[in-house]
Amino acid sequence: MTTSAPANTHHVTLLERIRSKEAKVGVIGLGYVGLPLAVEFARHGFRVTGFDVDQNKARAINEGKSYIPDVHTSDLAASVKAGKLRATSDMSELAAMDVIDIAVPTPLRKTKDPDLSYVVQAVEACAATLRPGQLIILESTTYPGTTDEVVQPMLEARGLRADADFFLAFSPERVDPGNQQFNTRNIPKIVGGAGPASTEVAAALYSSAVDKVIPVSSTRVAEMVKLLENTFRAVNIGLVNEIALMSHKMNIDVWEVIDAARTKPFGFMPFYPGPGLGGHCIPIDPFYLSWKARQSGFECRFIELAGHVNSSMPDYVVERVAEALNTGRKPINGSKILLVGVAYKKDVNDMRESPALDILELLLRRGAQVSYTDPWVPELKHGMTVLRALELSAALEQKPDCAVICTDHAGFDYGSLVKSGTLIVDTRNALRGVKAASIFRL
């Protein structure tokens, strides 16, 4: 726990407003992180205003309609009807907020360098209306040092001082889209402030809506926590992907190996191979860490190697497609390939960094005729390619030469897929336990 901050008028006033639920909370960025957070604060009695440059999102929220699967429309509508939640694209309204939570994307540039443009735009909006006593929290995943090297100087440019006149903290988002067990309320919240007062008010805010809050000593520690969590996953997935490649060469079922290894009650944690990494965090966060490390003269060879293995998996999947087609003396060029699932993970509609997009591009380059089925993604846009989803039954009626299971959505009728006799490349072990000559596993 942090030590108590020396009291000042702004500090005491904001703590009182937070504890009495009188504080007005603003959330910038109403996507997979921001919208659940806004709804959770509203559910716990705060008056919340969501800010987003996308006017369609603001309109949907004000109409009580959710566009995020993890946020039930009934919950959102109840908060809107109660007058606890509204949304706007007018950033000038930030001046009326006591707390501003920034939850905008932090992608990578093509050079694999951090792209903080969305964060900078959000902070510029906050700085334009910043007043004494406000709390600014950054949740967007970024490299250690962003809060004190980028955000703090922008906010202090007009003379106000962090941790005295206003408060500043970093609290990494830990959202796992589609996870039915863990959500905004019951995932522990890490909080690191620009000073003791900032940490205390930020922790007080989250404690009012989240089951457990864990204060840390600085914004840099909080930033590093998130990168460690996702780099841990990326490196272990890279390891198991390499084991999968090795096992294929040695004619060993890697899925059986993992199932057996996970029976050990200590010293082992199961990770699973797949067609590549997807989502906003795991494919990106390790590169934020390695980029920052290079600025300090440290080369993250282990992380870079894992990134190389993971990014090569779509190529391997396409080679497995070629092997499957070769059993029928068919080339990829001209063959009809059906992608079964294109979202980055099971039972979500999130396409960010989905490996299915890389697989699609590689197949198109080799002359394949590609279609897809995905109940969560009605339309797919990638570069100049625009495709509409087919129902699985309709897709099978077109007699594809090969089906590639890229995402193991629960709603798919895998039985009908197997019965169709179509060659199948299963990258997710969705057909676990099914034995057929037509099935080619990762």
Per-position pLDDT tens, the chain of length 442: 444 555 689 999 999 999 999 999 999 999 999 999 999 999 999 999 999 999 999 999 999 999 998 899 999 999 999 999 999 999 999 999 999 999 999 988 877 788 999 999 999 999 999 999 999 999 999 999 999 999 999 999 999 999 999 999 999 999 888 888 888 889 999 999 999 999 999 999 999 999 999 999 999 999 999 999 999 999 999 999 999 999 999 999 999 999 999 999 999 999 999 999 887 777 788 888 888 888 889 988 888 899 899 999 999 999 999 999 999 999 999 999 999 999 999 999 989 889 999 999 999 999 999 999 999 999 998 888 899 999 999 999 999 999 999 999 999 999 999 999 999 999 999 999 898 889 999 8
User: CATH homologous superfamily of domain 312-441?
Assistant: NAD(P)-binding Rossmann-like Domain (3.40.50.720)
The conformational region for residue 237 under phi > 0 = left, psi -120 to 50 = alpha, else beta, is alpha
CATH class of 9-217: alpha beta
Contact 103, 90 (CB under 8 A): no
The ranges assigned to domains in the chain are 9-217, 218-311, 312-441
Active site residue 406: no
- Catalytic residue among 281, 300, 402, 406, which? 281
The whole-angstrom separation of Cα 40 and Cα 79 is: 9
| CA torsion through residues 141, 147, 151, 155, sign | positive
Topology alike, domains 9-217 and 218-311: yes
The answer as to CATH 3.90.550.50 being correct for domain 218-311 is: no
